[in-house]
Amino acid sequence: MSNQDELFNPLDPEVIRDPYPVYRRLREEDPVHWHSELGAWVLTRHADCLQALKNPAVFAADFRKVGIPTPGPLLSLQTLDPPDQTPLRHFAIDALRSQDLGTLERNAEERAARLLDEIAGRDSINFVTDFATPFTLGTISQLVGMPPPEADEEWRQRNDELHRSMDAGLDPNSEEAGLAARQHFSDFVGRWLAGGPTEGISGFVATNRSKVDYTDAVLNNSLRAFWHAGFEVPARFLGNALTTLLNRPELLPQFFADVDAGVEELVRFSGPVHVVSRVCTEDVTIDDRRLRRGDMVIIVLAAANRDPARFDDPENLVLTRSPNPHLGFGRGAHSCLGNAVARIEARVALPALLRRFPDLRIDGELAWWENATLRGHSAIPVALHGEPAAVR
């Protein structure tokens, strides 16, 4: 995409580093913005985003409804809408309910403690690769009942390609490799399910396969989507949350006093999923703008989460904020299935890290993934211990 739109160039490196001023301008100046280069409407007000999320019959995730084919590796519970999606979504909810989240939380605590022990002897780490990713990958692997993949070069490359392709609407060049990566991971999941797993969510799926009437491809893709969303998104969230908290160290006592409220506010303030996309299945009016059947709609959750019409003092981190009707986990038929797991991971990992290393601080340049859809850091260099005492 060239950078021609006056208001919104999501892949501009400066916007990737800090998109919030742009979101604010969009919300104030043109909240139902036609982006001619993207060929899409951009929604930034909380009320409009919520309306779109809650109405999949009109704002569909299933683009086939307007004649746009969905490539095979993308067909999953994320790209079907009710009623087609409903039995699969219920199946996924049943699979989650079959798991003991109390045990998952205790194991997450042990995993965090182990990882912190491993890094404790070092002066500095990259929080993303040395803690957040192994922590969330270990947690989701246990939940799904699949071994964590070998993080070899091929895995890293496929993973990277899949992430880039989340911005395929902005950068069509990324699409093909992203589809191949999805297929690769779905095949991996398919082989795992065929082996008759007994543990975790994959055990539930293998045992109860006959209760849902979907093709193996749709089922494999859905489990792959769950598994993949289950480590990358919370890892990015932990990084965003950590940098946000380290910017406001005076708020840490408040965070420790009510971690759950704090995590909720961190999802609102610095959640990783910035946009989700839908397509209009019929003509619809928002404000005085006429959206036509077939038009793409970009729902900017991260802009909605700072809408002053919905939140007092929205640009401020208020760790005690309640109620907190943020859209960081989406809403409606596609809302986040892993929100309980994500909340557990954050309330375990962040206090464990910050209590273990009270002098922890950013120590170097932050690096961002070049993603507009899923915002987060590729590197967060942190020093773990206090300043070394001056040598006399």
Best CA proximity match to 329, nearest among 63, 50, 91:
50
Spatial distance between the Cα atoms of 349 and 263, rounded to a whole number of angstroms: 11
Residue 154 in 3-state DSSP?
Answer: helix
Closer to ligand HEM by Cβ: residue 159 or 383: 159
Angle value at C-alpha 159, between 158 and 165, nearest 5 degrees: 90
Closer to ligand HEM by Cβ: residue 204 or 226: 226
Closer to ligand HEM by Cβ: residue 203 or 383: 203
Closer to ligand HEM by Cβ: residue 321 or 384: 321
Residue nearest to ligand HEM (CB): 338
11, 78, 160, 280 from 163: Cα distances, Å: 14, 16, 5, 25
- Minimum CB distance to ligand HEM, residue 340 (Å): 8
- Minimum CB distance to ligand HEM, residue 383 (Å): 25
Q: Evaluate the omega torsion of the peptide bond into residue 249 and state whether it is cis, within 30 degrees of 0.
A: no
Asked whether 302 and 10 are in contact (CB, 8 A), the reply is no
Residue 337 in 3-state DSSP?
Answer: coil
- Minimum CB distance to ligand HEM, residue 6 (Å): 27
- Minimum CB distance to ligand HEM, residue 56 (Å): 9
Closer to ligand HEM by Cβ: residue 279 or 341: 341
Closer to ligand HEM by Cβ: residue 334 or 377: 334
Closer to ligand HEM by Cβ: residue 77 or 352: 77
- Minimum CB distance to ligand HEM, residue 3 (Å): 26
Q: What tokens were used for 57?
A: 């019959």
279, burial (CB in 10 Å: exposed 0-12, middle 13-18, buried 19+):
buried
Asked whether 218 and 88 are in contact (CB, 8 A), the reply is yes
Number of H helices, E strands in the chain: 15, 12
Left if phi > 0, otherwise alpha if psi is -120 to 50, otherwise beta: which for 330? left
Asked whether 2 and 9 are in contact (CB, 8 A), the reply is no
- Minimum CB distance to ligand HEM, residue 386 (Å): 30
Spatial distance between the Cα atoms of 157 and 15, rounded to a whole number of angstroms: 25
Spatial distance between the Cα atoms of 315 and 320, rounded to a whole number of angstroms: 14
- Minimum CB distance to ligand HEM, residue 239 (Å): 11
Kindly report the backbone phi and psi dihedral angles of residue 283, in degrees, each rounded to the nearest multiple of 5, phi listed first.
Answer: -65, 140
Q: What tokens were used for 248?
A: 């406001």
Closer to ligand HEM by Cβ: residue 144 or 383: 144
Closer to ligand HEM by Cβ: residue 116 or 275: 275
Spatial distance between the Cα atoms of 128 and 88, rounded to a whole number of angstroms: 33
Asked whether 231 and 136 are in contact (CB, 8 A), the reply is yes
Closer to ligand HEM by Cβ: residue 143 or 383: 143
- Minimum CB distance to ligand HEM, residue 208 (Å): 17
Task: Dihedral sign for Cα 177, 182, 185, 188, please.
Answer: negative
Name the site residues for ligand HEM (rule: CB under 6 A).
77-78, 89, 140, 225-226, 229-230, 233-234, 237, 267, 271-273, 276, 301, 328-330, 334-338, 341-342
Q: Which amino acid does the sequence have at 83?
A: P
